Amino acid sequence: MKWDIFCSVVDNYGDIGVTWRLARQLASEQGAAVRLWVDDLAAFAAICPQADPAAEQQVVLGVEVRHWPRDWQAAEPADVVIEAFACELPPAYVAAMAARAQKVLWLNLEYLSAEDWVEGCHGLPSLQSNGLQKFFFFPGFTAGSGGLLREGDLLARREAFQADDAAVWQFLQTLGVTPVAGARRISLFAYENAALASWLGALAADAQPTQLLVPEGRIVAELQRWLGVTAIKAGDCVQRGQLQVQVLPFMRQEQYDLLLWSCDFNAVRGEDSFLRAQWAGQPLLWHIYQQAEGAHWDKLDAFLDLYIEGLSAEAGAVLRALWHAWNAGEDMAPGWAAVQQVWPELAEHSQRWALERASQADLATALVQFYRNWLSYAA
Ligand code: TRH
C-alpha cells in the first residue's frame, strides 16, 4: 500500500503538524509506505528538528519526506494520494495519476470541524475534468465523519505518563522547568490576542499560584508588553504576583504533547494542538484560527455545542463565555473567576470527552478502511 501525502504550508504549523502525524501513523500502524511531500521544509524542521531542512529526500521515523519543489520533477503516483487542505497537486502528477494502469484513490483531506454539514459531505466524490474522481474526506468528532487523528496507544501512554509524577517532573526538567509546589500549571500557545493582558492580570491576582509555560511564538510580544519587559526569550522566568511566567523553546512535536499532558490547563490554537489538548484529558481554552467574515465563530460554537453535552448548564455556559471572551479579545477576568467554581466538573468532563472520542475509529484507520471499500467497489 503506497501513499503520497501532499502538504503545502500556508502559514503556521498546523498543515505540517497534521500531515506529519498522519504520515507517521499510516507508516507505523497501517504498514503503509508513505511519501510526505512538503513545500516548506523549514516548517517541518521546526516541529521535527531531527529532519534536514535542506534535504530533497530523507527518511524520518519511517516516512519518506520529500521536498515538494516549485519545478515539479516527474514521480510515479502512489495507490492513494492525499492532498491536504485543498492544496493543489502538480498538474503533471495529476496527469500521471490519470495515466496510471492501476487506479489511484485521490482524496482531499479537509480541515477539522464539528459543524453539522460535515457528516453530509464526508466521503463525497467530485468528478474532475480529466475524468478522475476526487473524494472529500472530513475528519470529525462524530460517527458519520472521518474520525480524529489518534495513535492506537495514545490514551494509554498519556494515562501512564500522567500517573507517574517522576516522569512528569523529569520531562519538565528537560525543558528547564522546575515545577512550583502548589501551583496550577498552564501551557499557552495562541495567536496574538488582546484578551491576554486581562487573563494574566487575573492569574497574577488569583488566590492560587499559577505557573504559566509559553513556547516561543506569536503570543510573546503581548506577553512582553504585559510584563513590561523589552525582550523575553526561551529560558526566561518572570514573577508577577501569584503568576510565574516561563518562556520555553519551541519544541519537537512529541515534546509538545508531553507538555500538554504535564499541565492542568492548556490554551491551544488552530487544529492540531486543539485536538492534542483534548487527548490530554485536561480542561482547555481554544484560540481558533480566524477566517474571513467571521466564519470561525460558527465553527467554534459547533464544537462547543458538542463538547458541553453532558456538562451542567452552568458549567457549559461558563466555558462558552470564557472561550468567547478569549476569541473576541475581551476581558477574561469574569470568565476565569467563574471557571474556578466549576473546575472539578470541567476536569472530569475532559477525561470523559477524551475516552468517548477514543471509542470512534481514528482518522488513519478510517482512511485505510475507505481505501479498502473503494478498492472493492473500483475492482
Ligand atoms: O500553527 P497553527 O496555528 O496552525 C494553523 C491551523 O492548523 C489552522 O487550522 C490552519 O488553517 C493554519 O495553521 C494555516 O496551530 P496548530 O494546528 O495547533 O499547529 C501547531 C503545530 O505545532 C502542532 O502540530 C503542534 C506543534 N508544536 C510543536 O511541535 N512544538 C511547539 O512547541 C508548539 C507550541 C507546537
Same domain, yes or no, for 108 and 223?
Answer: no
Same domain, yes or no, for 227 and 105?
Answer: no
Same domain, yes or no, for 177 and 205?
Answer: yes
CA of residue 5 to ligand 1 center, whole Å: 18
Same domain, yes or no, for 245 and 349?
Answer: yes
15 is catalytic: yes
Same domain, yes or no, for 265 and 133?
Answer: no
Low-confidence ranges of the chain (pLDDT < 50): none
**Residues 81, 6 contacting (CB under 8 angstroms):** yes
Our count of domains for the chain comes to 2
Picking from 359, 225, 256, the residue whose alpha carbon sits closest to that of residue 248 is 256
Same domain, yes or no, for 78 and 93?
Answer: yes
Q: Are strands 80-84 and 57-60 parallel, antiparallel or unpaired?
A: unpaired
CA of residue 98 to ligand 1 center, whole Å: 33
Q: Say what the pLDDT of residue 236 is.
A: 96
Residue bearing cell 467563574: 338
Q: Say what the pLDDT of residue 378 is.
A: 77
Q: Say what the pLDDT of residue 141 is.
A: 98
Residue nearest to atom 7 of ligand 1 (CA): 14
Same domain, yes or no, for 353 and 366?
Answer: no
Tell me the pLDDT tens digit for each residue of 6-45: 999 998 999 999 999 999 999 999 999 999 999 999 999 9
Tell me the pLDDT tens digit for each residue of 161-197: 999 999 999 999 999 999 999 999 999 999 999 999 9
Instruction: Please state, for a pLDDT cut of 90, what percent of the chain lies above it.
Output: 98
271 is catalytic: yes
Same domain, yes or no, for 296 and 171?
Answer: yes
Kindly report the CATH number assigned to the domain that includes residue 258. Answer: 3.40.50.2000
Same domain, yes or no, for 335 and 196?
Answer: yes
Same domain, yes or no, for 132 and 164?
Answer: no
Catalytic residue of the set 15, 39, 110, 257 = 15
Q: Ligand 1 pocket: which residues have CB below 6 Å? A: 10-15, 17, 47, 111, 189, 215, 250-251, 253, 256, 269-274, 289
Same domain, yes or no, for 318 and 195?
Answer: yes
Q: Say what the pLDDT of residue 129 is.
A: 87
CA of residue 270 to ligand 1 center, whole Å: 6
Q: Say what the pLDDT of residue 379 is.
A: 60
Q: Say what the pLDDT of residue 377 is.
A: 85
Range of the domain at 168: 154-358
Q: What is the grid cell recorded at 15?
A: 498543515
Same domain, yes or no, for 185 and 307?
Answer: yes
